[in-house]
Copies of this chain bind each other. A is one copy, B any other.
Amino acid sequence: MADTIALRPVPLTRARFAPYGDVIDASHDAVQPMNEARFERFDDLCDVDLGDGGVAISVTRARTATVLPLRVDCVERHPLGSQAFVPLSPCTMVVVVAPPGEAVEAGDLRAFVTNGRQGINYHRGTWHMPLIAFEAGQEYLIVDRAGCEHNCDEHELDTVVMLEAP
């Protein structure tokens, strides 16, 4: 039997996530006043990279809750654009990623856990585990590339990867 890799998520920070994407939250230093200073605006938090495609704003809602530990069988990437997920009510997200590139090895995978307020934007081509949620009914906003072109490559992992609880 192949070796098993155990992935334990570490807290998500901008620096740790930089090889894979962006963190979307209101903790950035570059805050701007808005509407006569009634708001603080944290501007342009991501590299939204959609090539020649349009922008789609979508909502997804979890039908089932995932329990950790979970075996990660497969990762995917979107070769034509970035993809952002932002929770529509505060919730912890766990993401598993590997850097953009043609190939992905189980040993390249890293796991992160959000602080409950953070969203994430995967850079174009970043390998990632499909979205999971820990509560049924949880909703997320998605900002990604509109269009009908093939924009999802999947890779079955040939090593047993177990995603542990944070």
Residues of A within 8 A of B (CB): 24-26, 34-46, 48, 50, 54-64, 66, 84, 86-90, 117, 119, 121, 130-133, 139, 141-143, 146
A34 to B40, CA, bound (A): 34
Cα of A132 to Cα of B55 in the assembled complex, Å: 26
State the oligomeric state as a number of copies: 2
Central interface residue in A88, A89, A133, by most chain B CB within 10 Å? A88
Residue pair B39, A56 in contact (C-beta under 8 Å)? no
Chain B residues whose C-beta falls within 8 Å of the C-beta of A37 in the assembled complex = 63
The contact of A66 among B38, B87, B132, by CB within 8 Å, is B38
Contact B132 A38 (CB under 8 A): yes
User: From A58, which residue of chain B is reached at the shortest CB distance?
Assistant: B43
Q: Are A42 and B24 in contact (CB under 8 A)?
A: no
